[in-house]
A and B are shown apart, each in its own frame.
Chain A
Amino acid sequence: MTANTSLNSNKPALMLEARALTCVRGERQLFSGLNLAVSAGECLHVRGENGVGKTSLLRLLTGLSKAESGEVFWNGLAISKEPTQYHRELLFLGHRDALKEDLTALENLQLYAALDDVQLPEDKALAALWRFGLRGRECLPVNCLSAGQKRRVLMARMLTRQARLWILDEPFNALDIHAVQALQGLIAEHLEQGGLVVLTSHQEVSLPQVRTLDL
């Protein structure tokens, strides 16, 4: 805990903010004038029916797509101005696993670490995979793993990525009860260390610092 307080004290408070976001998909306006703010240690749970624009909102927050109007700010800076700095602190997990099927879980982790500029020694990567129940499967190609196991590889990536802001699209999909608990534990840990989380889920999320946004 001491490490956390020192981190918080010498860094300005982390803050993700969106002002007056409007999202248009094709002819349809999904939402307009949407404001939100998430600060360090908070989790925002975006809820809503299918097709209401949850994924579109998350993609706007990552900067993958541009809003019709409005702007997203990270620590007070517009993310379109400083994308590299923002991406360094961001981890986005979408619907698709984004794992190379022909490579092993370990290789996938290591390649992403190299791309994300994160130092990841092999023992640390293995420890992360073992923590999520992939012991003995770390050297299998990912296409030999089940859907739930692939999501577990992604949980190992969350653990090793060292990002401050997690944006997770349906992270509980395809997970069994134990894995759901493990993921909730992982998110709680991240929040405790002063991280930020924005997620969508159709299930109830039992986390301490959770706020909900209904689209």
Chain B
Amino acid sequence: MNALLAIIRRDLLVVMRRKSEALTALFFFVVVTSLFPLGIGADAALLRKIAPGVLWVAALLSTLLGLHRMFAADYQDGSLEQLALSPQPMVLLVVGKIIAHWIVCGLPLVLLAPVIGIQFDLDVSSLYVLMGTLLLGTPVLSLVGSIGAALTLGVRGGSVLLSLLILPLYIPVLIFGAGAVYANSIGLDASGHFSLLGALLILALAFVPWVSSAAVKIAIE
């Protein structure tokens, strides 16, 4: 447990010292989502309708921006070897890195979403649903993304390959995440979508850390 906290603390400290990289992904999210209302104009009904899809796609892409950094820096400076040689289970360390990635790339999206949602004229209940889906969905994005980040370690042009590998796997999260907000906005019950997102999160939590740590071990060998 100490090691888990240590690795989270370490990754967050590194991000704090080099804020620009983390902020790039956040600004990307804010700018892309703000371009749509500007481009489409003041058609409030249309904006309300496209809001869930636009916000979720922007969230997927901005998560993707920070993904390749999850293991690559540690791989290059040799720290990943040292982590593998520490007496801690690799799974625990990988979970720590995924949590740190989510705190940096996922959590801010959840907190920013209501502000962005106002631009799309979403009502209060839709904003709550949007935040809820992002809260359940973004950890899945970080988890599933970690597999891609680990598999593309040491590969030239890895970040492009990473997008190709991981984006298709994000589709279920996108469908249920955006679907919940849409369902809520037309007066349907969104609890089914939430259950499915929760199920995806549990499934990812149960399997992904093992897959990623196996992929990391292959990369260092």
Contact = CB atoms under 8 A, between A and B. Distances in A.
A64 B18 contact: no
Q: Chain B interface secondary structure, helix, strand, loop or mixed?
A: helix
B111 interface: no
Indicate the member of B7, B17, B221 with the most A CB atoms within 10 Å. Answer: B17
B80 to A, nearest CB: 9
A210 B2 CA distance: 38
A96 B83 contact: no
Given A115-B3, A116-B86, A116-B87, A102 B14 contact: yes
Interface string A94-117: 111111111100010001101111
Interface string A121-142: 0000000000000000000010
B78 A64 contact: no
A208 B18 CA distance: 46
B13 A107 contact: yes
Interface residues of A, number: 29
B17 A102 contact: yes
Nearest to A103: B13
A107 to B, nearest CB: 7
A108 to B, nearest CB: 9
A98 B82 contact: yes
A84 B17 CA distance: 32
- Range for the number of chain B residues in contact with chain A: 20 to 34
B87 A65 contact: no
A115 B88 contact: yes
A117 B14 contact: no
B195 interface: no
Interface of B: 2-3, 5-7, 9-10, 13-14, 17-18, 76-79, 81-89, 93, 220-221
A-B pairs, top 10 by smallest CB distance, nearest first, are A96-B78, A114-B6, A102-B17, A98-B78, A88-B87, A115-B86, A98-B82, A87-B87, A65-B221, A98-B79
Given A63-B85, A117-B3, 12 more contacts: A84-B89, A88-B87, A92-B81, A94-B81, A96-B77, A98-B78, A103-B13, A103-B14, A114-B5, A114-B6, A115-B3, A116-B86
